[in-house]
Structures are given as C-alpha cells and as structure tokens.
C-alpha cells in the first residue's frame, strides 16, 4: 500500500490542508482540529513512503530525437519528476516535525487564524517540493511560493518593523527570483531541458560549458545566495528572523537551511564539472561566517542575536558544501540538520522569554534562572550544542567539517570554524548570563504564563540533539552514502 | 537568431536593467514595486524569445500528431517527426504562464505592504519611512 506513489502527497497534502484551514478562517475549533490532524499526518507520510521516483502524468523517460532536438543524450524525462531517497526522508521528517511544533505553539498561543496556519502549511508544501523536485522550473515555482508564504508569516506579527522586513524580503526576492528564472531560461535555451538529471547528463556530454551557460550559473548562484541567506543578503534574512514570532523564526531558519542544502546539491549535480562554482560558494560562505558571527557579538536583543547566529551557521553549512569533497558536503548537510535543531531550541527559548517578559532585550531581563530554571538549563545546553561542545550533535558535524577542510588542504578554514564556534558561544552565553544570572530585572515576569508546551518541545529537541551527538551515524551515514552515489 | 528574437532579447535587457535600476535607485515604494515587475516581465520576454520559431505550429492549437500516422491516410494529422520539426517549443510558454501567475501574487503582496506602510507614515518615500521608524 505504502509505495512511491505517495511521494507527491508530501506536497499535495499540506496544500490541501492550507486550502481547508484558509477556507475555515475564524472558525477556530475547526481550524485547530484540522491543523493538528494535518500536521501529524504530514509527519507520517514521509515515514511511510518508500524510496523511489514519481513521474507526473506517467510521462516515462523517452528518446530525445537528437536529429531534431540537437540533444546529445539518448533519452530524457518528458514531465516533472520527484525523487525521494534517504536524504530527502531525513530532511522531510525533520521539516514536518518542526512544523508540528510550530503549529502546536501557534495554536497554544491562541493564534488560531486560518490564514496564518495556511501560510505555515504552504511553506511546508513549498519546502517539501524544493527537496523532492528533480525539475528546475518546479523548483523555481516553489521557491517563489515559499518567499510569499514566509513574508506573510512575518507580516502576521502586525508591527511596522515586520512589514518593512517583509517588503524588503519581497523586493530582494523579486531580484533573486528573476535571476534564477533568467538562469533557467538561458539553460533551457542552450540545452532545451529543465530536468536536473537530464541537464547534468547533457552538460557532461557537451564538454566545456558555453559562455551563456556560465552566465546561467552566475544568475542561479545569486538566487542561491539570497534563498540561503548568505552574504550579501544576510541582513535581509536576519531581519526576517528577528521580526517574525520567535517560533516562526525557528521555522524560517530551518526552511532557509533546507533550501540551502537542496539548492546546493542541485547546483553541484548539474555543474559538477565546473570547479569555480565550489570556490565561489566557499568564498561567500567564509564572508557569511565572519559577518554573521561579528554581527551576533554586537547585539543586545536576544532575537536579533540569534538571527545573526543563524546566518553565521548557514555560512558554516555552505562552507562544508563549498569545500566540494563528498566528505565535506556530507558534513555540511549533517551540520545543517544539527544546527536547525539547536537554533530551534534557542528560538523557542526566545519565544518563551518574549511571552513571559514581553521583551527579549537582554539588558532589561535578569535573574530569570530562579523563576524559570528549566528554560535556563535547556538554553545553556543548547548553547553548548550549537557551539560544538561534546557530546552534542554539532560537535560531530563541526568536527567533520574541520577534518574535511584539513583533508582538502584548507587547514586555515578549520581554524575559522573553531573561531566561529567560540564567537557563537561567547555571543549566546553573554545573553544567557544577562537574562538568567545577572541580578536585578527591570522587566516583570507574567505570573500567569506557564509555557508548558514550550518547555516540552525544548526538552524533546535537546534530547534529539544529545541522541544525534551520541549516535551520529544514524543520520550521517545515509547522507554520506547519498552524496557518494550522486557523485557531486 | 531571428530579428524578432534579437528585438525580444534587447527589449528584455532594457526591461531588466530598468527594473534593477528602479529597485536600487528609486526612493518611491511603488516605483520599486514597478521595477520588480519589470524584471519579471523582462525574464518572461527572454523565455518567449527562446520559444519563438518563425512559421512554427502552435502545439496547443494545431491538430495532434499521431505516432503511426502518415499524411496521406490522416490528412489532418501529422507524423510525429514532421510535427516535431514544425512545432514551436511549447515549454517556454508554459513557463511564462506560470511566472505571470507567480508574479501577480508577489506583486499583490508587495502592493498591499506599500498600502499598509503608506497608511502608517503618509508617505511612499523609503527614506522618510526609515527616518520615521527610527524616531518611533
């Protein structure tokens, strides 16, 4: 029963859920019921689905008619293709679990707006499609849909700052979307193909890249930088994180990192023979790491601080991928998974603090450890986790990134990774001290706020971080096998 | 390259450059939105130029091909090879249609945000909005 025909359901089901909750807007009880059931079903679908390829409309791979189409490859896909393997499964399960947490927190906070929940489901469907799509145009369509959904989630805060952040995001999104589509158009003009597997084969068969294809790579790389929140678009992305509700920020940073991974793999697969691409990726990643960590150290607002830490960590993921070896790419993807878990805990802690104190300014809150000891303990552990301290998960991935950098002949990048870890630790532990240990607080805690849902979720997440840290091969090995098989 | 394609690509280039210029240099929110729309339109024009074939059949409206047909037995059908040689490439047009839909939704969100910001600050100038936000 559960076979690869369930693959498109991972995109279609959240879309149907989005339509339903949008239709039932203001009918709070119905929205709540549908949202809870749908989000749980969304987690179950990727777990039950078997690995495979889904051909939309049943279009099978067919002859390319080289005498007419001038294609150098013998056969091509004639329709949209979704591919589902171990890497996709890991990313989708992680994505859906985090979406469940965010939906539960939103419902718990009486944010039961049909439109708001619909936007969460649309963003889930978009990222699922980006992970699954083997078709460049489908990829582009869902990147654009994701941009609109993410902007809508930030707009929902209903503050002018959030409107400004969303507007900036949309404007830059139109530049990035235009770049990606122009790149796709140029590739279509040169190779007549949109399927990533076919494009990769055609480019390999065609030998050296034509100048127009190089222009296409540059344009798509601009889109990659924007969608991943890397330098020089890091400010736009961090603005989005800091102006969203903290739990939504946790979801946004997860989505950005998943898109970063999916898009990087797509680029590396298609242009695997073009080594300059990896150097460009590495260059921008280094800039992002440096800028992200320096900016994080300067912040006095917890949400802003975490936003820049998230950006810096995205740079670290891109660095692993940009190093370009199977080992480093796997380590980069592994770090993306570890990092989104740790960052999510920190954003949820920020959400708890915001709900309890109505502010996240670190200089206004103090002595919180006596009032909310569990949250303080989990924040401390999450700080250790994100800084790469054993036995937590990020230690395993950062160690692998450092090892791969040394193996690739860039030992200095290993030093940069250690410096980033130290900077991250200093930035967050400073905020931790000010919020939880510094005597005296100008902000009063809301005595009615219990935050049981927040506490449960952060405890579950820190347990996941510890589990991955102790048993890294459960996650890392499937990723490494996929990357070796892809030959990127 | 056909003259139509040359014209399309040149116009697209002008649209894209003008769009980027408006986004980066213009102070007015609406002009930025229009610039963003120009970029999308320019890219659409590139796609249309790519799909253009002089005198080509339009696959969506011309009679279908038949895998085993020969023109003498099915006069209104074309053999696949003949059809494929004569037809325009339909994929770019499908992409343009999709991009128009996406562009419309993005445009509507950007315009809605412009309206909200205008109601709040009574100006469309980005600089004045930023100054007012700093004062807040």
Q: What is the rounded CA–CA span in Å between residue A467 and residue A473?
A: 11
Which residue among A137, A147, A178 places its CB closest to the CB of B39?
A: A178
Q: How far apart are CA B91 and CA A188, in angstroms?
A: 9
On average, the pLDDT of chain B sits at 84
Per-residue pLDDT averaged across B96-103, rounded?
A: 92
Query: Does residue A450 sit in helix, strand or coil?
Result: coil
| Cβ pair B129:A145 closer than 8 A | no
Question: Based on C-alpha coordinates, what's the Rg of chain B?
Answer: 22
Q: What distance, in Å, lies between the first and last C-alpha atoms of chain B? A: 56
Q: What proportion of chain B, given as a percentage, has pLDDT over 70? A: 82
Tell me whether residues A161 and B133 touch, CB distance under 8 A.
Answer: yes
**Peptide bond preceding A368: is omega within 30 degrees of 0, i.e. cis?**
no
Chain A residues inside the 8 Å CB shell of B36: 170-171, 174-175, 178
Are the C-beta atoms of residues A192 and A69 closer than 8 Å to each other?
yes
**Res B69: pLDDT:** 52
| Nearest CB to A137; choose among B16, B23, B95 | B95
Facing A148 at nearest CB: one of B39, B95, B106: B106
Torsion sign across C-alpha atoms A187, A193, A195, A200? negative
Q: Can you tell me the ipTM of this complex?
A: 0.87
pLDDT at A168: 93
Q: pLDDT digit string (tens) for A41-94?
A: 999 999 999 999 998 877 777 776 665 566 667 788 888 999 999 999 999 999
Q: Which of B98, B107, B120 to mutate to test the interface with A (most CBs of A within 10 A)?
A: B98
What pLDDT score was predicted for residue B135?
Answer: 79
β-strands A75-76, A62-63 pairing: antiparallel
Q: Angle CA(A227)–CA(A231)–CA(A232) in degrees, nearest 5?
A: 90
Question: What confidence score (pLDDT) does residue A59 get?
Answer: 76
pLDDT for B48-86, tens place per residue? 998 888 877 776 665 555 555 555 555 556 666 777 777
Nearest residue on chain B to A70, alpha-carbon basis: B85
Task: Give Cα B14 to chain centroid, integer Å.
Answer: 14
Is B102's CB within 8 Å of A141's CB? yes
Domains and CATH numbers, chain B: 3-53+89-135 (1.10.287.3510)
Would you call B47 helix, strand, or coil by DSSP? Answer: helix
The confidence score (pLDDT) of residue B79 equals 65
Q: Count of CB atoms within 10 A of residue A211's CB?
A: 8
pLDDT tens figures, B13-30: 999 999 999 999 999 999
Task: Tell me the CA end-to-end span of chain A in Å, nearest whole number.
Answer: 33
A220 close to A91: Cβ distance less than 8 angstroms:
no
Q: What is the pLDDT of residue A259?
A: 96
What tokens were used for A193?
Answer: 């193909």
| Cross-chain CB nearest to A160 (options B29, B42, B120) | B120
Q: Which residue of B has its CA nearest to A178?
A: B40
Cα three-residue angle A260-A265-A266, rounded to 5 degrees: 100
* Chain A partners within 8 Å of B95 (Cβ): 137, 181, 184-185, 188
- For the purposes of burial, counting CB atoms within 10 Å of the CB of A411, is it exposed (0-12), middle (13-18) or buried (19 or more)? exposed
Q: Residue A62 is inside which H or E element, if any?
A: strand A62-63
The pLDDT assigned to A304 comes to 95
Give Cβ neighbours of residue B24 (< 8 Å, ≥ 6 apart).
none
Q: Which of A65, A178, A194 sits opposite B91 (nearest CB)?
A: A194
A306 min Cα distance to partner chain B (Å): 22
Which residues of chain A from 78 to 137 reach within 8 Å of chain B, CB to CB? 137
DSSP character for A369?
G
Task: Go through A127-162 and write b for each residue having 16 or more CB atoms within 10 A of its CB, e for each that does not.
Answer: bbbbbbbbbbbbbbbbbbbbbbbbbbbbbbbeebeb
- CA gap A57, A54 in Å, rounded: 9
For tokens 């014209």, name the residue. Answer: B7
Distance from CA of B110 to the nearest CA of A (A): 6
The list of chain A residues with pLDDT below 70 reads 1-4, 64-72, 110-112
- Across the interface, do B117 and A182 touch by the CB < 8 Å criterion? no
The angle that helices A136-155 and A160-191 make with each other, rounded to 10 degrees, is 180
- Rounded Cα distance between A253 and A272, Å, is 27
Q: Cβ separation of A174 and B39 shorter than 8 Å?
A: yes
Return the structure tokens found at B31: 């002009």
Q: How many CB atoms lie within 10 A of CB B72?
A: 6
d(CA A159, CA A177): 26
Considering the entire predicted model, what is its pTM? Answer: 0.93
Query: Who among A65, A141, A160 is closest to B133 (CB)?
Result: A160
CA distance B24 to B18: 10
């Amino acid at each position: 029963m559960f076979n690869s025909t369930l693959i498109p359901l991972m995109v279609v089901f959240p879309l149907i859920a989005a339509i339903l909750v949008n239709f039932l807007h203001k009918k709070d009880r119905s929205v709540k019921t549908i949202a809870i059931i749908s989000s749980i079903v969304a987690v179950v679908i990727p777990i039950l689905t078997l690995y495979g390829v889904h051909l939309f409309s049943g279009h099978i791979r067919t002859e390319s008619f080289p005498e007419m189409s001038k294609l150098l490859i013998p056969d091509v896909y004639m329709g949209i293709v979704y591919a589902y393997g171990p890497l996709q499964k890991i990313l989708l399960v992680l994505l859906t679990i985090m979406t469940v947490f965010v939906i539960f927190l939103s419902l718990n906070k009486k944010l039961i707006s049909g439109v708001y929940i619909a936007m969460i489901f649309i963003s889930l469907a978009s990222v699922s499609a980006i992970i699954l799509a083997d078709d460049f145009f489908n990829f582009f369509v869902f990147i654009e849909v994701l941009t609109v959904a993410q902007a809508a989630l930030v707009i929902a805060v209903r503050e002018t700052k959030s409107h400004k952040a969303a507007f900036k995001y949309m404007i830059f999104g139109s530049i990035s979307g235009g770049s990606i589509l122009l790149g796709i158009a140029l590739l279509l003009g040169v190779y007549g193909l949109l399927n990533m597997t076919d494009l990769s084969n055609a480019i390999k068969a065609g030998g050296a890249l034509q100048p127009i294809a190089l222009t296409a790579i540059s344009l798509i790389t601009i889109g990659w930088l924007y969608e991943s929140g890397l330098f020089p678009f890091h400010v736009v992305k961090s603005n989005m994180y800091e102006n969203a509700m903290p739990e939504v920020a946790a979801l946004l940073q997860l989505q950005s990192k998943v898109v970063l991974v999916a898009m990087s793999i797509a680029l590396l697969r298609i242009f695997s023979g073009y080594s300059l691409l990896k150097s460009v990726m590495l260059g921008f990643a280094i800039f992002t790491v440096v800028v992200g960590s320096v900016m994080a150290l300067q912040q006095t607002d917890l949400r802003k601080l975490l936003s820049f830490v998230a950006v810096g960590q995205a740079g670290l993921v891109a660095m692993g991928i940009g190093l370009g070896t199977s080992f480093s790419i796997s380590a980069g993807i592994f770090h993306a998974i570890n990092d989104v878990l740790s960052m999510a805990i920190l954003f949820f802690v920020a959400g708890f603090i915001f709900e309890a104190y109505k502010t996240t300014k670190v200089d206004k809150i103090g002595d919180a450890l006596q009032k909310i000891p569990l949250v303080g303990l989990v924040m401390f552990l999450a700080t250790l986790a994100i800084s790469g301290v054993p036995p937590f998960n990020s230690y395993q991935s950062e160690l692998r990134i450092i090892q791969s950098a040394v193996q690739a002949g860039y030992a200095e990048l290993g030093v940069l990774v250690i410096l980033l870890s130290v900077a991250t630790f200093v930035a967050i532990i400073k905020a931790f001290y000010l919020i939880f240990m510094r005597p005296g607080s100008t902000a009063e805690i809301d005595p009615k706020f219990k935050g049981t849902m927040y506490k449960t979720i952060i405890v579950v997440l820190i347990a996941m971080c510890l589990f991955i840290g102790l048993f890294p091969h459960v996650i890392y090995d499937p990723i490494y096998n996929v990357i070796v098989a892809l030959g990127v | 390259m056909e003259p139509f394609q040359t014209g399309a690509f040149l116009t697209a280039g002008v649209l894209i450059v003008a769009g980027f210029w408006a986004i980066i240099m213009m102070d007015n929110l609406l002009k930025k939105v229009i610039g963003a729309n120009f970029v999308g339109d320019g890219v659409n024009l590139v796609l249309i130029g790519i799909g253009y074939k002089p005198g080509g059949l339009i696959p969506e409206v011309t009679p279908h091909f038949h895998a085993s047909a020969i023109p003498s037995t099915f006069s209104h059908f074309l053999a696949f090879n003949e059809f494929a040689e004569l037809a325009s490439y339909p994929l770019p047009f499908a992409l343009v249609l999709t991009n128009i839909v996406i562009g419309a939704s993005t445009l509507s969100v950007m315009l809605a945000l412009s309206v909200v910001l205008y109601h709040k600050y009574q100006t469309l100038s980005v600089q004045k909005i930023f100054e007012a936000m700093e004062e807040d």
